[in-house]
Amino acid sequence: MRPGKTIAVLAAAVAFGFMSVAAMADSHTIKIGEINHYKRMAAFANPYRNGIELALEQVNKAGGVLGKQLEFIYRDDEGKPGVAVKIAEELMTRGGAVMLTGTIFSHVGLAISSFAAEKKYVYLAAEPLADSLVWAKGNDYTFRLRASTYMQAAMLAEAAAKTDAKTYATIAPNYAYGKDAVAAFKKVLTKLKPDVKFVAEQWPALFKINAGAEVQALERAKPDAIYNVTFGGDLAKFVREGTTRGLFEGRKVYGLLTGEPEYIDPLKDEAPVGWTVTGYPWYGLKDPANKAFIDAYTAKFNTPPNLGSLVGYMVVQSITAALKKAGSTDTEAIRSAFRGLQVDTPMGKILFRKLDHQSTAGAWVGTTALKDGGGIMVDWSFKNGADYLPSDEEVRKMRPASN
């Protein structure tokens, strides 16, 4: 054999050997494609990833799933729907992933959901909250973990209905999540209290809020109460301007997500006082399931969990339960397993409903206060998500026919 040919044959053999080793390694793992906005939404996405890592460590130490180790492949989509879809395609066709999960922004989640339906890939939407994800644009291959916009807005509307406020103003980011959040609050509150009126709506562009102008517009409307859906940097600017200009004085304020550590902690001593909010009072959770998670997370990362941490942890719990129920990594088996799946989580047992693929995960509702120079939730209670969903009849009217 000629030397050049011998070298080529040896090179091919070596390459084949590496490929065989890689294939053997792959055969011992089950890969999940995780797509998120790790740079753009670092305050939420990094604790979320930590929650995933903690759960993966626990699952794999206990023997993994179906006799294999569970592995997440993390990808950053820059918060852009087009980028997210390209990554999803790569993960499923060349990355070896058996399903997809992740995303925070609703418009990105909707893009991946549509892609998943087209390609018949299972997608567990971890964080996107837009109601259309499981209703108007719901499909057979998309499931949602977190309590939806409607569910959390309904919790706040329930609290608002118990007050004597008659006129309301709203402020929300101008995209799918914000639109759904306002529509849900208005729908539930007017059903509970038909005589209320909405006298102003402000729609700042996401992360481009002109807080001074927005506060002035709300003040001109003279509402009895305000419903706030801003978050992140927009929330900080709104709170600062509203406090400076006295917008919140003598008014009830309801804040969707405002009590989550990701969003209230950065406000420090500027955090609002007396708002009714959804959030995550980890510092007050003493039941065994929540405490076990909080203690394990704090020990591993030397910092307490955010809500994103809990969501990430529950993502792994949900996928693990689905794979065990499916008994394989076949897409249709996983899809079938998620329908009606029950999962034990730190917040209790949750159910992924067959009707619309929405989980019954709940949320904490309480009042904001200041303590030790930072914002916290007090007088909080946990709300079971199953109690804050539209009727089955309403859901069937909203959701396209599915299998």
Q: 145-156 pLDDT, tens per residue?
A: 999 999 999 999
Same domain, 128 and 176: no
Name the burial class of residue 10, with classes exposed (0-12), middle (13-18) and buried (19+) by CB atoms within 10 angstroms of its CB. exposed
Query: Which pLDDT value is given to residue 142?
Result: 98
> Can you count the helices (H) and strands (E) in the chain?
13, 14
185 secondary structure, DSSP code: H
Query: Which pLDDT value is given to residue 10?
Result: 44
CATH number at residue 335: 3.40.50.2300
19 in a structural domain: no
Look at residue 18 and tell me whether its pLDDT is greater than 60. Answer: no
Look at residue 3 and tell me whether its pLDDT is greater than 70. Answer: no
106 in a structural domain: yes
Residue 335 to residue 113: CA distance in whole angstroms: 14
Query: Which pLDDT value is given to residue 26?
Result: 52
Q: What is the 3-state secondary structure (H, E, C) of 17-56?
A: HHHHHHHHHHCCEEEEEEEECCCCCHHHHHHHHHHHHHHH
198 in a structural domain: yes
Look at residue 270 and tell me whether its pLDDT is greater than 60. Answer: yes
Same domain, 163 and 138: no
Same domain, 46 and 164: no
Same domain, 141 and 242: no
Same domain, 139 and 187: no
Q: Phi/psi at 171 (nearest 5 deg)?
A: -140, 125
What is the reported pTM? Answer: 0.91
Residue 360 to residue 19: CA distance in whole angstroms: 43
Same domain, 245 and 381: yes
13 in a structural domain: no
- For the stretch 354-367, pLDDT in tens is 999 999 999 999 99
pLDDT-derived band at 134 (thresholds 50, 70, 90) equals very high
Segment 60-64 mean pLDDT:
97
Same domain, 109 and 257: no
Query: Which pLDDT value is given to residue 14?
Result: 42
Query: Which pLDDT value is given to residue 400?
Result: 86
Same domain, 189 and 247: yes
Same domain, 58 and 134: yes
CA distances from 210 to 207, 217, 239, 258, 287 (A): 9, 11, 12, 19, 42
Residue 71 to residue 97: CA distance in whole angstroms: 9
Which residues form the domain of 274? 150-284+364-388
Question: Total domain count for the chain?
Answer: 2
182 in a structural domain: yes
Same domain, 120 and 197: no
15 in a structural domain: no
Segment 62-91 mean pLDDT:
97
Query: Which pLDDT value is given to residue 197?
Result: 98
Same domain, 379 and 299: no
pLDDT-derived band at 402 (thresholds 50, 70, 90) equals low
Look at residue 25 and tell me whether its pLDDT is greater than 80. Answer: no
128 in a structural domain: yes
One-letter amino acid for residue 230 of the chain: T
What sign for the dihedral angle of Cα 11, 17, 22, 27?
positive
Same domain, 33 and 134: yes
DSSP conformation letters of 353-386: -TTT-BB---EEEEEEEEETTEEEEEEEEEE-GG
